[in-house]
Amino acid sequence: MCELLSAGSGNPLEQFVLLAKNAKGAAAVELVKQALEAPGVYVFGELLDMANIQDLENSPNAKYLTLLNLFAYGTYKSLAESVESLPELTDAMRRKLRLLTVVSLAEQNKLLPYSLLMAELEISTVRELEDLVIEGISASVVLGKLDQKCSCFEVDFVIGRDIRKIDMGAIVSVLSAWCDNCDSMLTNIETQVDKVNKEKSDTNSHKAALEQKINDVKQQIKNQPSGEDGDPDSRMETERMDRRDKKAAKGKGLRGTSKSGGSGSFWKQ
């Protein structure tokens, strides 16, 4: 067993699950103890589901099954509530249960005051609390920053704990509500897309209609008979020539009048 427990594994609990297939009675109890003390093991659901572990319920060692359930779903304060039905905990077990309690608190609030942590973990000094949190950060159980000035722990990440079967219904309800919200949002987006596409289509149709009208007017102008009243350019040129001729004739008339008037006044004198 020791050789198997020391072997590397992607899932630290997996080795205990494999051993639980053949462990019964005292061997199952010993397996539970080792799992609760083992570094890196913070979830216990698969081990709890093993038949040999569940068989402890109707044996003199039922308190170890209760203890395993406490580590899977409970907190450090639950320890005091069930102390009479639990075996003695080692220091390693108590430290792990405190870390699991930090996980549960961090799932509910991303800003944990030192006062709350110390009360929930039954720790009397800030130094001991900070050492515990640093240990959790090193083990990647929780990630965040200890703010000594504000006396709080700012949580950035926390692992997930085991989920009770009775809580599955609530989780399914939350996920169903989330899916419904996603469907509603998707429907709204599709409606907006259809609206934009329709507006674009209407704009393109209006533009095409205007271009067609412009082309029709141009064609009508081109089809008009050429001549004075036909071609607009010809009419404009004719009008410019008429105005130029009128100006020239007017200028000649003014010069003639000026000359005759001057001669008459001279002879009158």
Nearest residue to 80 via CA among 64, 94, 96, 60: 94
Comparing CA positions, the residue from 93, 171, 175, 95 lying closest to residue 128 is 95
Residue 7 is predicted with a pLDDT of: 41
Q: Say how far apart CA 204 and CA 208 lie, in whole Å.
A: 6
pLDDT band at 8 (very low <50, low <70, confident <90, very high): very low
Structure tokens at 220: 């009508």
255 pLDDT tier (thresholds 50, 70, 90)? low
- Angle between helical axes of 26-37 and 62-73 (0-180°, round to 10): 30
Angle at 121 between CA 111 and CA 130, to 5 degrees: 60
Q: Are 44 and 71 in contact (CB under 8 A)?
A: yes
258 band by pLDDT with thresholds 50, 70 and 90 = low
- pLDDT confidence tier of residue 253, bands split at 50, 70 and 90: low
pLDDT (mean) for 117-125: 95
pLDDT of residue 168: 77
Instruction: Classify residue 159 as left (phi > 0), alpha (psi -120 to 50) or beta.
Output: beta
**pLDDT, averaged across the chain:** 84
Give the pLDDT of residue 12: 85
Q: Where are the alpha helices (DSSP H) in the chain?
A: 2-6, 14-20, 26-37, 45-48, 51-54, 62-73, 76-81, 91-108, 114-121, 126-138, 168-223, 232-268
What are 42-63's pLDDT values in tens digits?
Answer: 999 999 999 999 999 988 999 9
Backbone angles phi, psi at 156, to 5 degrees: -105, -30
Q: Evaluate if pTM is beyond 0.85.
A: no
Contacts of 52 (CB under 8 A, 6+ apart): 20, 21, 22, 23, 24, 28
Give the strand pairing for 142-147 and 152-158: antiparallel
77, two tokens: 């304060």
- The tens digit of pLDDT for each residue in 132-163 reads 999 999 999 999 999 999 999 999 999 999 98
221-250 pLDDT tens trace: 888 875 545 555 566 666 777 777 777 666
Q: How far apart are CA 234 and CA 231, in angstroms?
A: 5
